[in-house]
Amino acid sequence: MTHDDTPRYLALADRLGLDRDALERGETIRTTVKIASFEDFREIFGGSLTEAQRDAHSAAHKSRPTSPDSTLALLDELERHVYGRHTLSEQARDYAQTAFPISAKVMSATDLVISEDEILGPGGAPVVISCDTLTFSGGSIQAITTSLHITARELAVNDPGSTHFHIGILGEKGENGPRGEDGAPYAEPAKTGKKGKTASPGVCKSSGGDGDDGARGRNGTDGERGDDGRGSMSANVTIDKFAGPNPFIVFTESGAGGDGGDGGNGGKGQDGGRGGKGCDSGCTGTNGGNGGKAGEGGDGLNGGDGGRAVDAWGDIYILFPKEATAMLQTNKSTVSPGKYGNAGKAGLPGEPGKGGSGGKHANKGKTGKENSPGMSGSRGEHGKGSGMPANYQIHYF
């Protein structure tokens, strides 16, 4: 309840301009609203925090290094002001003025039942979930790189769902780097040697010509670097009363790095050209031409590096009734950087060209020489760092 005994979800509905009558009729409202100013955002997303939670946030983030990216540094300032006691710099205030108004998604109801997985994000507008009674009945709420505010007078946890949590505050794994392309194969062998010529009927002038050497196989291309992960965002969960019967589980992890793409394999070398057929005229003939040398295999190229794992962007704040302390479970997991991409394999050499057939009483040409495979590429490097999960700031009342 608020100080004037108005249910908190209705007071928030009034603030956000929702249809209070529709809520009291039992309707669920899903809509997008505008938050006019940064201070309004602070009141909506951080207004329920206790003094102890703000102190804990400020202490935990006091030594956090400043991002070299000026925009990220300003966003970090704003986050510390919303959830902690940080006093905004003039630059951060100016930035907030230019950033607002912003859109926020709202889900509000008198009785809100989560019977399937509600996926919020990734990278979406901040979300406000406000209700009188919140019931988990086989579903979950998953905020992926999305700020979340949940307030409910009463919470019930009935049937288990498909996930190991009811609320997940999650980062997003970086995209895997695309695999390099393999060296394109040759559609045809090298050119065949010319046929032996006659000087006049019954008289041969030349032997069969040698086939052309096969061309070197085409190289693969490098695999690309995996993308960096994207961090989980802040969340604020306020529960006045817990009705059970099952434990309420909150889970968080940040964004793992994407894997590097494998390097492309080297292409097969071109087959050597066949030797030309020897002259065959009357009672005379000449030797067939020699086959061309096999083409060397193309080189495999390098695997891409793994992407960086990133730390959580914000903390998770929970207000929960003291008598139900044992029914709140909070879990977290550290995520890994992306794995390296594998090296591209060396391309195989082509086949030596066959000797051309000889004319009458003459010899067949020799088979062309063999060649070697190409070079293998190098594997990429593992991504850097481990993505640390958010801190829980829990206050039991």
Q: What is the pLDDT of residues 87-103, one digit of tens each?
A: 888 998 888 889 889 99
Span 290-313, mean pLDDT? 97
Percentage of residues in the chain with pLDDT exceeding 70? 96
Span 170-188, mean pLDDT? 98
- What average pLDDT does the chain have? 92
Confidence of residue 343 (pLDDT cuts 50, 70, 90): very high
Flag whether 121 is in a domain: yes
Flag whether 202 is in a domain: no
Flag whether 163 is in a domain: yes
Predicted pLDDT at 2: 47
Segment 266-278, tens digit of pLDDT: 999 999 999 999 9
Look at phi and psi of residue 282 and say left if phi exceeds 0, alpha if psi is from -120 to 50, else beta: left
Percentage of residues in the chain with pLDDT exceeding 90? 73
Backbone phi, psi, residue 81, to 5°: -80, -40
Flag whether 312 is in a domain: yes
Backbone phi, psi, residue 223, to 5°: -70, 150
Segment 242-257, tens digit of pLDDT: 998 999 999 999 999 9
Query: Could you tell me the pTM of the whole model?
Result: 0.85
Flag whether 377 is in a domain: no
Count of domains in the chain? 1
Question: Is residue 41 over pLDDT 50?
Answer: yes
Question: Is residue 67 over pLDDT 80?
Answer: no
Predicted pLDDT at 69: 59
Residue with tokens 């809100």: 112
Q: What is the dihedral of CA 23, 26, 32, 36, to 10 degrees?
A: 20
Predicted pLDDT at 73: 82
Give the domain extent around 17.
8-178+227-258+308-338+385-396
Flag whether 108 is in a domain: yes
Predicted pLDDT at 139: 96
Question: Is residue 113 over pLDDT 90?
Answer: yes
Predicted pLDDT at 48: 77
Predicted pLDDT at 62: 59
Measured distance CA(366)–CA(101) in Å, rounded = 81
Predicted pLDDT at 303: 98
Flag whether 314 is in a domain: yes
Question: Is residue 7 over pLDDT 80?
Answer: yes
Predicted pLDDT at 65: 54
Confidence of residue 227 (pLDDT cuts 50, 70, 90): very high
Segment 360-386, tens digit of pLDDT: 889 999 999 999 999 999 999 999 999
Flag whether 51 is in a domain: yes
Predicted pLDDT at 124: 85
Give per-residue burial for 87-113: e unless 16+ CB within 10 Å, then b: ebeeebeebbeeeeeeebbbbbbbebb
